[in-house]
Amino acid sequence: MSEQKGERQRPPQQQADQPGETKEMRPRPEDEMRHYRGSGKLADKVALVTGGDSGIGRAVAIGYAKEGADVAIVYLDEHEDARHTKELVEAEGRRCLLIAGDVGDEQFCRRAVGDAVRELGRLDILVNNAAMQFPQESLTDITTEQLMRTFHSNFFSYFWCTQAALEHMGEGAAIVNTTSVTAYRGNPTLIDYSSTKGAIVAFTRSLAVNLAKKGIRVNAVAPGPIWTPLIPASFDAEKVATFGSDQPMGRAGQPDEVAPSFVFLASADSSYITGQVLHPNGGEVING
């Protein structure tokens, strides 16, 4: 989510409210995993995905369903996007529970986990993915209100959802957190957002060590610039038009290109991997 200086790759566009809606995007993201073929890697598992209504979260939810998992989707208020994701999950023959609310509220996080377990019977995979961002040109422009809102949504929710989930998770369970390329190289206009993403990396590594003996793996994915509703809901129209064009691959990525990393980290294919971060970012070399 770096500042873009490349060529225009899509019509200039902007949305007024976060985290944004798919229907207003031109072109729409590739986030339905249409070409993905599952092989039962998550057969009869149950996953909870925050921010699962659209973008990366939608692609992850559908990817999990194609691998045989039932999915609970937590989202703010994008009901149309959430219903469409539910339809796509159910089209794969899997159950899908929609849970609307603000993950920035501790009690809602705990209630969402409880609802998922009660309705779907268990919890094997937790994907902490919900996020928001508010660009500011200067540190002094970031109010305490914005700082707290960003941390509540992007980091505290991960902490609260994980605390609640661990009451129901046992050996073989997996936690996958969404961090960002900004955690590693920073971003001059997303200081608070980048800080939450750095905290997620430390959280992932620390929790992985803490839970290793219980057989619960904890990993993360650090996407680069990905075309999701959050982008036109965050940046001005011209920046959106060139978003991602300065990456080595010359374009923004699609949610469908990120979701397989989440499938891998949730499945037995990554049984000897914990405390690590995958980097689907279009070729930007990141240390760590």
Banded model confidence at residue 229, pLDDT cuts 50, 70, 90 = confident
Domain ranges of the chain: 40-230+255-278
- In this prediction, residue 201 carries a pLDDT of 98
**Rounded-to-integer distance, Cα 185 and Cα 114, Å:** 36
pLDDT in tens, 58-108: 999 999 999 999 999 999 999 999 999 999 999 999 999 999 999 999 999
- In this prediction, residue 184 carries a pLDDT of 97
In angstroms, what is the C-alpha Rg of the chain? 17
Mean of pLDDT values over 226-249: 91
Question: Strand order in 217-221's β-sheet?
Answer: 96-100, 70-75, 46-50, 125-128, 174-178, 217-221, 277-278
Q: How far is C-alpha 185 from the geometric centre of its chain's CA atoms? A: 19
CA dihedral sign of residues 9, 12, 18, 19: negative
- Interacting residues of 268 by C-beta distance below 8 A, sequence separation 6+: 41
Banded model confidence at residue 2, pLDDT cuts 50, 70, 90 = very low
- Is 75 a known active-site residue? no
Catalytic residue among 64, 75, 184, 193: 193
Fold of the domain spanning 40-230+255-278: Rossmann fold (3.40.50)
pLDDT > 60? residue 3: no
pLDDT > 60? residue 1: no
**Rounded-to-integer distance, Cα 38 and Cα 79, Å:** 27
Mean of pLDDT values over 228-239: 89
pLDDT > 70? residue 11: yes
Averaged confidence pLDDT in the chain: 95
- In this prediction, residue 5 carries a pLDDT of 55
Q: Are strands 277-278 and 217-221 parallel, antiparallel or unpaired?
A: parallel
pTM of the model: 0.95
Mean of pLDDT values over 9-35: 91
Instruction: Locate the DSSP E strands across 171-254.
Output: 174-178, 217-221
**Rounded-to-integer distance, Cα 79 and Cα 53, Å:** 8
pLDDT in tens, 114-123: 999 999 999 9
> Is the Cβ–Cβ distance between 4 and 230 less than 8 Å?
no
pLDDT in tens, 268-285: 999 999 999 999 999 999
- In this prediction, residue 4 carries a pLDDT of 41
Name the residue with tokens 């779907």: 120
Q: Which of 17-21, 210-214, 237-241, 242-246 has the lowest mean pLDDT?
A: 17-21
- In this prediction, residue 193 carries a pLDDT of 97
